[in-house]
Amino acid sequence: MTSHSDWSEIIDCLRGTCNGSLSALIEERGLEAEEDEICAAVDDAIFECSVCGWWCEIDEECSEDCGADDLTCRQCAWVKRSSEFHDTWAARTRDTIGVSLWIAYPAMDIFRKTGMIHEVERYCNDVGLCVTLTETVYVFTGGQEPGWCVGLRNYPRFPSDEETLFRHAEAIGRAMAEIGNQGSYMIEQHDGHSVWYTRRLNDGASPQTMAECDCQQPDTCKRTGCAYD
């Protein structure tokens, strides 16, 4: 009789793999005589999803949740539920409310750029939120730089209000600025009100009430005049 450690080894070999063959592993180890007992042990620990073929933990089995006849993992059950449609369309209406966050990213630092994306994902997962993330280019006197526009909207499926969307934009903006090592960002409310945030030393004592300074570009300041001269 083979020890149960061999059974555990088979389970570990299958766990987290796709389309692994239980019968092949049993045959490789010469355990055909114990196949029924091994299969029972496997069934208590893991299962092979009938949809994706991955071997998953037994507590991830969700066939009842999606009305499936065969063993189904949590992810495939979610996909099945989300892809089922009614025969008719329904419409939900809410007031149009929009807030946009504008922030640059370091063009030559792919790690910070990617980190800013991950920070948005983390925030949305933490608070339960859906935003858009669109790349853009800021063209200004004397140069240009790449950046993001983060869009927050009053989504009729999950209604919100302008104050809540604005606070989300603030939190996302500060988190992205930290990860992306940015000195400023702007939040634009679609009712015509915009707020610009800065922490750059050369932007003056009250930056929100003044135009952005071009002191980082002396040649431009000589040509256009600097607000802080």
Q: What's the pLDDT score for residue 66?
A: 72
Q: Are 165 and 154 in contact (CB under 8 A)?
A: yes
Cα separation, 27 vs 202, in Å, equals 72
169 vs 81 pLDDT, higher one: 169
Name, of 32-36, 48-52, 118-122, the range with top average pLDDT: 118-122
Higher pLDDT, 53 or 204: 53
Q: Rounded to whole angstroms, how far apart are CA atoms 101 and 180?
A: 14
Query: Which 3 state secondary structure label does DSSP give 183?
Result: coil
Say whether 198 sits in a helix, a strand or coil: strand
Question: Per this entry, what is the length of the chain?
Answer: 229
Q: What was the pLDDT predicted at 4?
A: 66
Query: pTM above the 0.85 mark?
Result: no
Domains of the chain by range and CATH?
A: 4-82 (no CATH), 98-198 (3.30.70.260)
Long-range contact pairs involving 74-78 (C-beta distance under 8 Å, separation at least 24): 76/49, 76/51, 76/52
pLDDT exceeds cutoff 80 at 108: yes
